[in-house]
Amino acid sequence: MNIRPLTSRIGAIARVSGRILSLWVPGVLLLAGCTTTTTTEPGSLASAEALFPSVAVRLEQDTLGRTVRTIGEEIGGGLVSVYGLNERPVPAMNFQGDSYEVMVGRLAEATNSIYVDRDYYYLIYPPGYDLLLGHDLSDTLPARYQGMIATLALGRDTSLYNAFAMLSDSLGITVIADNAVAEAITGEITLDNAPLHAVIEALLQSALVPPQDVVVEATDEYILLSARGNEHPEPLLMNAAELTDAQRATLNRRIDLTLPQPNSNANGEVISFYVEATTLGQVLGSLASQIGVTVHANEIIRDLPVNYSIMHDVRVETALDLIIRQWLVPSFGYTLEENGIHFRVR
């Protein structure tokens, strides 16, 4: 099991097959992956005793992934396994009044792994992966995010774009990643009452994203996680000097945006996860209906990938910028003209 450098993918567009599958099954969502989140004032986080209760549980012989899931369902607390460990076998265990850390230690020992206390969760990872501990966003996020906490459960093999979309939807914010980061896959995760910075750290660690390979850009409007080296020339708006006052007002209008389509259909059925990216060409209609402006794209770029993403209360210009900044080639921009928005090759 190796950590794949994200920077190795810069300069190549991610493959897109065009097949989309999205499912939400009542009563089974926790098994497939879900987030439930709340916001609160700073300082109201739970104590260590509340986060990590003493353990009274009998665990059946199973895999590490399913054992972490069982712990989340029956005990709670915070426990994160990294991608690649989920199928390692765990023998039956019986805990009666033991500490949470003792339980985690036995799980790590049984799977030839290491564990570390990350304050809001315990991380189980293989020897040689200490570099994952370098993730620290505690001083990176602006003040508006400091009071946000989350309770989250994610099943193994969850793509980060799905995790970030669910987090954005639940908290009413915008967390998004470029294609290199977004396609990383998590292990099993259960978090309870964790601050937003710790949730994002846990997701990156579980998906084996090395801290030196990811850049986190955080503003009051969005949080963007990009592979180091994925840089786009600014501004992405290619005809800013030619805009009328009305066009500038269009770009400054604030919207909520879900791609590839709004998160519920006409029957009220919620679409939770997507198996893979769709394409720019396939989302032009949905994008236009949500922005309120016709959207066009050069034929040559219609196959560029667009991952599942949810943006809340962003300017139209910000939303367009974030779509382009997900791509791994710095060759694209857009214009706003009389007949609508045009995605273009620069």
The pLDDT of residue 3 is 53
The pLDDT of residue 274 is 87
pLDDT tens digits, one per residue of 99-136: 999 999 999 999 999 999 999 999 999 999 999 999 99
Q: Is the pLDDT of residue 162 over 60?
A: yes
The pLDDT of residue 66 is 97
191, with CB counted inside 10 A (0-12, 13-18, 19+), is buried
In three-state secondary structure terms, 250 is: helix
The pLDDT of residue 92 is 98
pLDDT tens digits, one per residue of 55-95: 999 999 999 999 999 999 999 999 999 999 999 999 999 99
Give the pLDDT mean for 189-199.
96
The pLDDT of residue 8 is 40
Lowest mean pLDDT among 11-20, 229-238, 264-273, 299-308: 11-20
Give the pLDDT mean for 295-323.
97
Cα atoms in the Cβ-side hemisphere of radius 13 Å centred on 122: 24
Give the pLDDT mean for 196-205.
98
- The model's confidence at residue 32, banded by pLDDT at 50, 70 and 90, is very low
Give the pLDDT mean for 3-20.
35
The pLDDT of residue 275 is 87
Q: What DSSP line would sit under 202-215, residue for residue?
A: HHHHHTT--GGGEE
The pLDDT of residue 107 is 98
Does domain 240-345 fall under CATH 3.55.50.30? My reply is: yes
In three-state secondary structure terms, 247 is: helix
The pLDDT of residue 343 is 98
Task: For CATH 3.55.50.30, list the domain ranges present in the chain.
Answer: 240-345
Q: Is the pLDDT of residue 42 over 70?
A: no
Q: Is the pLDDT of residue 34 over 80?
A: no
The pLDDT of residue 266 is 62
Q: Rounded distance, CA 332 to CA 344, Å? A: 6
Q: Is the pLDDT of residue 249 over 60?
A: yes
Q: Are 315 and 251 a contacting pair, CB within 8 Å? A: yes
Q: Are 190 and 68 a contacting pair, CB within 8 Å? A: yes
Q: Is the pLDDT of residue 31 over 80?
A: no
Q: Please, what is the average pLDDT of the chain?
A: 87
The pLDDT of residue 24 is 27
Cα atoms in the Cβ-side hemisphere of radius 13 Å centred on 13: 20
- The model's confidence at residue 49, banded by pLDDT at 50, 70 and 90, is low
Q: Is the pLDDT of residue 16 over 50?
A: no
Between 12 and 50, residue with greater pLDDT = 50
Q: Is the pLDDT of residue 158 over 80?
A: yes
pLDDT tens digits, one per residue of 331-340: 999 999 999 9
The pLDDT of residue 273 is 83
- The model's confidence at residue 27, banded by pLDDT at 50, 70 and 90, is very low
Q: Rounded distance, CA 237 to CA 235, Å? A: 5
User: Is the C-alpha dihedral spanning 277, 337, 254, 223 positive or negative?
Assistant: positive
Q: Rounded distance, CA 262 to CA 239, Å? A: 29
The pLDDT of residue 235 is 96
